[in-house]
Amino acid sequence: MTRQPDLLYSDTEDDLRAAVRSLLADRADPQAVLGRIEEPSPYLPGLWEALAGGIGAAGLLVPEKLGGQGASHREAAVVLEELGRAVTPAPYLTSSVVATETLLALAADSGPAADLLAALASGERVAVLALPFSTAPRKPGDPERRVPAVADAVAADVLLVPRPDGLYAVDAADAAVTRQSSLDLTRPLAVVDTRDATGVRLAGTEAGRAAVRRGLLAGAGLLASEQLGLAEWCLEETVRHTKERYQFNRPVGSFQALKHRMAHLWLDVVGARAAARAAADALAAGAIDAELTVSVAQAYCSGVAVRAAEECVQLHGGIGMTWEHPAHLALKRAKADQLALGSTGHHQDTIATLTDLPSPS
Amino acid sequence: MTDAAELQARTRALLAAHPPATTDRTEFLRARFDAGLAWVHYPAGLGGLDAPRALQAVVDAELAAAGAQDNDPRRIGIGLGMAAPTLLAYGSDEVKSRFLKPLWTGEEVWCQLFSEPGAGSDLAALGTRAVRDEATGDWIVDGQKVWTSSAHTARWAILIARTDPEQPKHRGITYFVCDMTDPGVEVRPLRQITGEAEFNEVFLTGVRIPDAHRLGEVGDGWRVAQTTLMNERVSIGGARIPREGGMIGKAAGVWRDRPDLRTHALHRRLLDLWVDAEVARLTGERLRQQLVAGQPGPEGSAMKLGFARLNQAISGLEVELLADEGLLYGDWTMVRPDLVDFTGRDAGYRYLRSKGNSIEGGTTEVLLNIVAERVLGLPPEPRNDKDVPWKDLAR
Ligand SMILES: Cc1cc2nc3c(=O)[nH]c(=O)nc-3n(C[C@H](O)[C@H](O)[C@H](O)COP(=O)(O)OP(=O)(O)OC[C@H]3O[C@@H](n4cnc5c(N)ncnc54)[C@H](O)[C@@H]3O)c2cc1C
């Protein structure tokens, strides 16, 4: 019999959600986010300190003895739902999930990895994995020394660099980090070149590779929650707008053609919630089918988020196409998230392998 | 307050007194009903113990472990899912004690005489007349119903009929329990797309219904029908199914067994649907957990809509996947089956029968309207049929 995941939200998770939501309402409303996307850094001043340190969100995955909150992927997923709703520019997924989980997989109680974990858990430092943001958990590929499309590298103090002889921590100041113009304005990409930097070796080849895969797996699993939150926001905004917008002497939301599209979206969101919760719970429990559950969540939620954002733009009409309206922030994030941490195709291939449904030979 | 431990003890006592291996099935089901272990959330004396609904799982698990036979919920689905909650909410004490037990044990099958040739989605437009016989107080019913599943096996029916044509359509309807053995009831098989006759036409001519078999007030039948219809939509999603437990398991099985049939295009579609089926399974599981936690959400309507779309897509893929075999069809003989059996039949049958999943129990379009208006709060479409007397409506 399949393991039954816990798919509901606990009271603690609801409290955490409320805290993050109210912080974001105060400091990261759509106008604030829009106001910074063309600045040299899209990150909002003070937000990271409040979120990571103040609320303690950065250390959710880190055990208390290493300076964290000793919570789990379930709680981190709730934070990501909220960050997704607000399309918040914050290096949470990259530092507090992917980099943190990579370091946790090294199982060090002391030494440089443990020290770095403590600094990440408090939010004092930010680390990112120096791999393209599209890297799938199953196939991290051969690491290069000059890596394009590294998400949130511009916010990083430390780069986790996979090299043929092991996994290294490189001080960002010793590397060349060049910002690229990215589709998702709220999660900047950069080319990271660590050819001239030595860094500290955290693990050997095999342990390092396994840790990176683990970090990417947790990232892909929790990305589903970000996509869920984003899709939910798009649906709510679209419902709100179409109830208020009158054309032909009626609210446009009373036309059945639109109602059915929004009802379909609601069905998609209901499914995305079950899938994203299952992935977070499987990661938290270390379930044997965690990899499959993560790929199911990715294969499903990526499409839902993109559809929701595309419908949001379309059903807002002309307003949906304007720079001042946040719909485009959601669309850009959703489309970028579709490729992040493994495309739908990559995850379907993983599912095919894990369920013994092979492609034609 | 009945708790899990007490239910467990009661179930074990039932099993000890009526060992499933040596007890006749019906006899066992009657004893189970009398012990209050049929539906534990029902009142004591009516098959339940006034216990929280969630605790039924405790009883079911005990009984399943002991190999006890169930009451075949699929064969008695309409009675169980729709007639029973309505009888419970609106029946007199006599009505409840007369009907609930044989309904639950399956000794009496129920059907639903709602739809008419002129009233499907717009059910409140129905024209079957019920006129009071002033001498006896009985009701005399005349009209025609259609697409009535199981009418050929049913002993009783839930029926709605028009008692006041002068009122706007929702206000002139009354709800009854109809005796299918009454001489005025004629059931004719209605053959369907699969070749079988699972549903029927039912002609009602001078059918006499005692006033004691009226549920709810005269003219208030639409409200009573809402109870039935609401239960129809939430009755899905009860049982836990394993991964690949539904129709997708059939298609995946063919894929694994028959490498010669594989193509790249079919592979993509199979994986898309595999993911959709797994997400539907998780959605059902989440709905179940919400019910158990006492926080029912509107996800019930999502289940019915999703299930219809998924069944249709998977069964369509399966026919294509089977290539030459997909061109064959098991059997077109007209039979009148007791129940719908998806897993026991071939791909062609599944493909055709699943077309009904988006029509029966409310069409997909109508359910999407309900989601849009009741869940999302979108404004209703303008209507011109609400305040017009039924007799003056266009038809
Ligand atoms: C297998 C099967 C078993 C059934 N069993 C029973 C039974 O046991 N008892 C019983 O009473 N009935 C039964 N029915 C009947 C069923 O409830 C009706 O068929 C259903 O409610 C649709 O009504 P209709 O067939 O008249 O379609 P119509 O209402 O004529 O609909 C035609 C089309 O118009 C669409 N439509 C209608 N209204 C709207 C609207 N407002 N907005 C958008 N689109 C709309 C529909 O979705 C559909 O696509 C069964 C049907 C099937 C297929």
Q: B109: closest CA among B130, B82, B88, B89?
A: B82
The residues with which B391 forms a beta bridge, in sequence order, are none
Active site residue B318: no
Residues listed for chain A: 361
Q: From atom 51 of ligand 1, which residue's Cα is the shortest distance away?
A: B360
Scanning B206-263, the segments in alpha helix (DSSP H) are: 221-234, 248-257
**pLDDT band for position A2 (cuts 50, 70, 90):** low
> If residue A191 lies in a helix (H) or strand (E), which one and from where to where?
strand A189-193
The residues with which B175 forms a beta bridge, in sequence order, are B160, B215
Of the candidates A243, A270, A273, which has its C-beta nearest B379's C-beta?
A243
Question: Which atom of ligand 1 has the smallest separation from the CA of B78?
Answer: 8
Mean pLDDT of A43-70: 97
Quote the pLDDT of residue B237: 47
Separation of CA B38 and ligand 1 centre (Å): 32
Residues listed for chain B: 395
Quote the pLDDT of residue B234: 58
Mean pLDDT of B113-139: 97
**Half-sphere exposure of residue B161, counting CA atoms within 13 Å on the CB side?**
28
The two beta strands, A158-163 and A127-129, are parallel
* Position A314 pLDDT exceeds 60: yes
Mean pLDDT of A208-224: 97
SS3 assignment, position A170: strand
Separation of CA B315 and ligand 1 centre (Å): 21
Q: A57: closest CA among A295, A225, A282, A217?
A: A225
Mean pLDDT of B52-65: 88
Mean pLDDT of B353-379: 95
Nearest chain B alpha carbon to A10: B293
| Residue, of B239 and A167, whose pLDDT is higher | A167
- The CA distance from B244 to the nearest CA of chain A, in Å, is 10
The two beta strands, A166-171 and B199-209, are unpaired
pLDDT tens-place string over residues A232-276: 999 999 999 999 999 999 999 999 999 999 999 999 999 999 999
Q: Which of B62, B116, B198, B232 is catalytic?
A: B232
DSSP letter string, B193-213:
TTSS--EEEEEEEEEEE-GGG
Of the candidates A7, A272, A299, which has its C-beta nearest B289's C-beta?
A7
Tokens representing A220 are: 């892909």
Separation of CA A63 and ligand 1 centre (Å): 56
The per-residue pLDDT of chain A, averaged, comes to 96
Quote the pLDDT of residue A318: 97
* Position B44 pLDDT exceeds 80: yes
Quote the Cα angle for A6-A101-A287, to 5°: 35
Mutate-to-test residue for ligand 1 from B128, B147, B190, highest number of ligand atoms within 8 A of CB: B147
Quote the pLDDT of residue B1: 55
SS3 assignment, position B294: coil
pLDDT tens-place string over residues A23-46: 999 999 999 999 999 999 999 999
Q: Is the ipTM of this complex over 0.90?
A: yes
- The CA distance from B344 to the nearest CA of chain A, in Å, is 22
pTM for the full predicted model: 0.94
Other beta carbons within 10 Å of A49? 11
Mean pLDDT of B215-232: 93
DSSP letter string, A275-320:
HHHHHHHHHHHT-TTHHHHHHHHHHHHHHHHHHHHHHHHHHTGGGG
* Position B155 pLDDT exceeds 80: yes
Q: Are A263 and B369 within 8 A, CB to CB?
A: yes
How far, in Å, CA of A315 to CA of A134, rounded? 29
Q: Which residues contact A20 (CB under 8 A, 6 or more apart)?
A: A51, A55, A57, A78, A79, A82, A83
* Position A1 pLDDT exceeds 60: no
Which letter does DSSP use for residue B43 in this model? P
Q: From atom 29 of ligand 1, which residue's Cα is the shortest distance away?
A: B121
Quote the pLDDT of residue B53: 83
Tokens representing A247 are: 């054309």
**pLDDT band for position B238 (cuts 50, 70, 90):** low
Quote the pLDDT of residue A64: 97
Q: Which residues contact A26 (CB under 8 A, 6 or more apart)?
A: none
Quote the pLDDT of residue A140: 77
* Position A144 pLDDT exceeds 90: no
Q: Which residues contact A111 (CB under 8 A, 6 or more apart)?
A: none
In single-letter form, the type of residue at position B364 comes to T
User: For residue B392, what are the CA distances in angstroms to A113, B172, B384, B389?
Assistant: 80, 13, 12, 6
Quote the pLDDT of residue B236: 47
User: For residue B33, what are the CA distances in angstroms to B54, B58, B100, B221, B238?
Assistant: 18, 16, 10, 29, 20
Quote the pLDDT of residue B57: 84
Quote the pLDDT of residue A130: 97
